[in-house]
Structure formats: structure tokens, C-alpha cells
Amino acid sequence: MPDNTANPQTAIVWFRQDLRVADNPALSYACRHFEHVIPLYIWDPETEGGWPPGAASRCWLHHSLKALDHSLRQLDSRLVIYAGDSHAILEELIRKYGVDGVFWNRRYEPAVQTRDAHIKAFLKNQLNLECRSFNAWLWREPSELKTGQGNPYRVFTPLWKRMLQDWRQPAVYPIPEKIPQKQSLPQGKPVDQLALLPAINWDQSFYLYWQPGEQGAWSQLKRFREGPLDDYLDDRDIPSVEGISRLSPHLHFGEISVGQIIHTLCPDGNPPVDRQKTGYLRQLAWREFSWYLLCHFPQLPEQPLYSKFAGFPWRTKSSYRSDLIAWQKGMTGIPIIDAGMRELWTTGWMHNRVRMLTASFLTKNLLIPWQEGQAWFWDTLVDADLANNSQGWQWVAGCGADAAPYFRIFNPVTQGERFDPEGHYVRRWVPELAAINGKAIHAPWRLRQGILEEAGSAPDNGYPQPIVNLKTTRERALSAYQQIR
């Protein structure tokens, strides 16, 4: 029996991007050591650096907070929500409720880390509180892993090999049996008052595809483990097939942890021998690599990691504005690009292969700076993630760590023919082309007018002609690159 008389009284568990009750080390710690636990969420986008959550992320967050509140109520508690400056709100609650300890799970965005370090120093040194943070976000702490020369890794494969050789199974914490409560909780405000949802509900279609929250995360993992995982390496590049786990938004909001996924896939605590599982963990390690890079190179979201790209001759904003809008709306006239951009708008998510193609088309064929694409993804993705998004864009643009060489420019027609050979993916998202059979759908401009009309896809059905010539814009991109080589 724990000696309750020895327990200090009140703890705050500050939820952030760890919106779950299972495997939540901060929550577990507070529930084990305190008599009264206040589960707190603070909506404070102002102190997160220049990257407050985008519109689609806010929609997800709204539902995820509701789901967390529901889970906490099942443990005889609830989520206490405030909006405003984190430091000021914490200080006020600490004084008003006589709080003895504050606990949270770490975030790794550079601006958030700086803010949190100040708050921690203040709570410990000025208020004499117990204050601890935990890793509930990453498989390995970025500071643990360095090359033989003591430098940060800039290449993925050696980092991944090291993680496999030096296998560490993250600890996983059970759901607390109960969240101790000795007095009433602070009032807080209802989640609706955060006004995270848009005035016009353009997000309605998201929920046909997603269930934000811990339960939704576990149903995705179950679906994946009981089917697609067996063929992951074969199917992960086929956008018309549900061959992937679709866990990215759940991971981003911390509704499931990387540790829980590893435990589910490797219950014996050893690295998997199965190549499909290893292939899947390798992708999770790309997430680690992105966060590792962001921690070691905090300029990743704003500046190219290869500094020579700072002088890249991008087109000027006034000359590319209409092309950017066509790309955002899925009206470029290049079917697989438009399919991806429309999937993004409708579902808040896009398949990884198509993310690479749309990003390559924007940065290379349209010669638009990668930061424009990164910003659009940031606003429209439900999994918008500072490290993965920045790393993904820099990788495709050729300016990131371990990036694809600039001169490897994806041809969206041949890529479409290869990864969507029957055209199922394009047909689903670009209904104007639905009547074209087979892989011809990837280059409708090649079809003779008569065939197009027969297929119901004559130009007057609204689908545009390509806004650029793929061959000449490829050459333009290569000669732009020559200027910074």
C-alpha cells in the first residue's frame, strides 16, 4: 500500500502533444506520487515560434481534446482547458491551488524547448516546485546519438543502422487505474471556446476518413497490423491501396506513441526479423531522423540545410502566383498532381509517394520555393509536423540532409504509370478524367480529341490543359541548378 500521508498534495500534468492516457509518463508519474492531479491543457499558439498549428491541425486538435477529456472522465477526472500564455496560466494555477509539482512530456520544436526551459527554471528555482519532463515523443533522445567523430548524423542510413544495432525498446506505461482527485478541479473553459473549428465547416469530409483521439489511433494500428503490414514493402508506394498505417496524425498529436507501436510489433523486446516489420520501423526511424535534424539544425523549417541553396534562382512571387494557386487547387492539368492536392484538401492527408511528386512538381517544374509548399502543407495537413514537413520539403527540393539529388526530377506521368498503373488513384480524386481507361489517364493531353470526347473528358468538362510543359520545365530547373553548383 502506498503511504499516502507522505505524498505531497497537488500536481499539474500539462498535456501538450501527448493527448493520450496510456503510455503517458508524466501522467503516470503524477498519479503515482500525488494525491490530487490536475490534467491541464493550455492553448498557447503565440509562444510556439512562427509555427502555430495550421487550420487542418486545429480541427484535429479540437476533436482530440474532446477525446482526451472523455478518456480522463472514465478515470474520474476531466481535462482542464485554458487559453493564453502558458507561463502566466501555470503560475496563476500554482498559486491559487497550492500546486507542489508540475509534469509534462517533452516537445522538441526549438521555440517550444526554449520556452519550456524558462518555465522549468522558474518553477524549480523561483517557486521551489518539483518539476520534471519526460520523453514520450521519440524512440531515442536526439542527444544520445552521434557519429564516430562526435558529430550529428546528416545521413539517414548510418543512423538507422546504429538504432538497429544498439536496439532500445522504449518503456511503455499502462493507463493509470484512476486519476487521484481530492478537491474540485479548476473550472477552465469548454473546448469549443478555443474556436479551433472553422466558421464554415470545410473540415466535415475529414471525419469520413479519420477518428481523432487515442481510440482512433488504436483502430488504425489494429487495421494495419492485421492486414497491410504483411505486404508493407510492396504496397507502401501504391497510393490507391491502403497499404500504409495512416498513423501520422495520431503520432503527431501524441494519441499513440512510437513506443506503443514498437511494443505492438516487437512484443519480445528484440528487433524484428521479419522484413516487412523492419521496413515499417525504418519509416518510423525517418520520423526520428527528422526530429533529430530539427534538434541539431534548428534552422531546418526556414533555411536550406545546404547553404548553397540560399542563392537558388527561384521564380519571383508575382510570376508564380497563379501557378501556385493552380497547384493548391489541384488544377495544374497534371492528373497525379491534381489527385494528390485534392486528396489533401478533402481528407487533410496525402499519400507519401504523392507528397513527393507534388513537392517535386512545385519546386522543380514550377520553380516555386519549397517554403511555399511547406506552408500550404502546414495549413492543410492534419499531420502537419514541424520536423517531418520541413525535412520532407527539403529532401524533395534537394537542399536537405541526405536529400534526393537535385537533378533527380520526378516525371509525374511516368511516376503515375508506375505507381498507379490502372489509374485508380487519379480516377478517385479527379472525376473529370474518370472515364479514361488504364494508364492513359496520366497524360490525357496525349489522347486524340475524339477519344477524349468518347471518354467524356473533352476539355470543356472543366479539367485544364497542363499549366506547364514537363520537358521544358525540367530543363529550366536543371539550368537553374547549374547557377548554384
List interacting residues with ligand FAD (CB under 6 A): 236, 244-248, 251-252, 283-284, 286-287, 290, 352, 355-356, 359, 377, 381, 383-385, 388-389, 392-393, 396
135 vs 352, which CB is nearer to ligand FAD?
352
281 vs 436, which CB is nearer to ligand FAD?
281
Distance, CA of 359 to CA of 419 (rounded, Å):
16
Residue 136's alpha-carbon distances to 19, 41, 160, 295, in angstroms, are: 11, 16, 20, 16
- State the nearest-atom distance from the C-beta of 453 to ligand FAD, in Å: 36
38 vs 356, which CB is nearer to ligand FAD?
356
Residue 273, φ and ψ in degrees, nearest 5: -95, -25
- State the nearest-atom distance from the C-beta of 192 to ligand FAD, in Å: 26
- State the nearest-atom distance from the C-beta of 386 to ligand FAD, in Å: 8
- State the nearest-atom distance from the C-beta of 378 to ligand FAD, in Å: 7
- Indicate the helix (H) or strand (E) that contains 345: helix 335-347
Half-sphere exposure of 54 (CA within 13 A, CB side): 18
Residue type present at position 409: I
Strand partners, 134: 105
Residue 474: closest CA among 334, 307, 348, 375: 334
14 vs 286, which CB is nearer to ligand FAD?
286
41 vs 410, which CB is nearer to ligand FAD?
410
Residue 380, C-alpha cell as written in the block: 492543410
Residue 113, C-alpha cell as written in the block: 524547448
Residue type present at position 5: T
396 vs 452, which CB is nearer to ligand FAD?
396
158 vs 459, which CB is nearer to ligand FAD?
158
Distance, CA of 59 to CA of 205 (rounded, Å):
12
Residue 259: closest CA among 32, 103, 105: 105
Residue 204's alpha-carbon distances to 196, 198, 385, 434, in angstroms, are: 14, 10, 22, 24
Quote the strand ranges of 90-206, DSSP E. 101-105, 130-134
Distance separating the N- and C-terminal Cα atoms of the chain = 68
Grid look-up 533522445 returns 141
Residue 317, φ and ψ in degrees, nearest 5: -60, -40
DSSP reduced 3-state for 421 = coil
188 vs 392, which CB is nearer to ligand FAD?
392
β-pairing verdict for 101-105 and 80-83: unpaired
Helix%, strand%, coil% for the chain, nearest 5: 55, 5, 40
Q: Which residue is nearest to ligand FAD (CB)?
A: 392
Classify burial at 172, counting beta carbons within 10 Å of its beta carbon; exposed 0-12, middle 13-18, buried 19 or more.
middle
Q: Are 482 and 315 in contact (CB under 8 A)?
A: no
224 vs 463, which CB is nearer to ligand FAD?
224
Residue 311's alpha-carbon distances to 161, 191, 306, 364, in angstroms, are: 34, 45, 10, 15
Residue 108: closest CA among 301, 261, 383, 292: 292
29 vs 289, which CB is nearer to ligand FAD?
289
Residue 458's alpha-carbon distances to 32, 437, 451, 463, 465, in angstroms, are: 67, 14, 9, 8, 10
374 vs 473, which CB is nearer to ligand FAD?
374
340 vs 444, which CB is nearer to ligand FAD?
340
Total residue count of the chain as it appears in this document: 485
